[in-house]
Amino acid sequence: MPTNPPTRSRTYDAARTKETILDAAEEIFAELGYSAARIDAIAKASGYNKSLIYQYFGDKLGLYTEVVKRADQIGDQVTGRIIARLMNEGGVASDAAKFKSFLETTTRSMYEFLLEHPRYRKILYWEAAEEWKTWNRITYRPDDLTHLHELAQSAKSNGILRKDLDPALVPVLIMNVTTTTLQSFSRFGNLLGNADSQQRQKEIMEQLIQIVIHGVMEPSSL
């Protein structure tokens, strides 16, 4: 008598299927934005039918949420451990050298992650163009930088953050200086030179780090 395949195999196949669908969805959302993306196109690109996509993800918004969630979790795996290690060392908000190192590491990690994940970067650009309407509808909150805000508040009370700077602008500055610069590579290629080369990208990243550090920290603490 034939027997059903073991549960482990079915689970593995389901996980692999979901990843394939998410890959296709990420590509379509990156190229067209949420509004113009169609489940039909995602189904065709993934090689699976629409009914299976609805079964796994509910609807287009549910699928989009999972695309954003997956990208954010990959980012956490890359940058989260580094930032957590610095935080666990303690004294980041009270020691100027440690706070400077924290800003440098956070900016570099965010820049490198966005550079290595161009499709997720394009999704962010689409969201900005559409005034983050879809982003604010999803239940997953990938842009929760409360810990960085709280750290900046503590650094300001300790005289490390600039006296004239609102601590809430620290995570905003880091996020925007990285994403906006990467977005500008194509437009300002005549000014930036060969921004596609690894050497040039590294040079730009190091300059952005200095912009963040000197724009955020009290000059006397540098």
The token pair that represents 128 in the structure block = 């900005």
**Residue bearing tokens 């000014």:** 191
- Regions in the chain scoring below 70 on pLDDT: 1-12, 78-83, 86-87, 142-144
- What's the pLDDT score for residue 80? 66
The helix/strand/coil state of 181 is helix
- What's the pLDDT score for residue 142? 64
Contacts of 71 (CB under 8 A, 6+ apart): 26, 117, 120, 123, 142
Q: 120: closest CA among 169, 178, 168?
A: 178
- What's the pLDDT score for residue 213? 96
Q: Enter the DSSP assignment of 137.
A: G
- What's the pLDDT score for residue 12? 47
- What's the pLDDT score for residue 37? 97
Domains of the chain (ranges; CATH) run 7-221 (1.10.357.10)
- What's the pLDDT score for residue 190? 79
Q: 213: closest CA among 91, 99, 86?
A: 99
Q: Which helix (H) or strand (E) holds 203?
A: helix 198-216
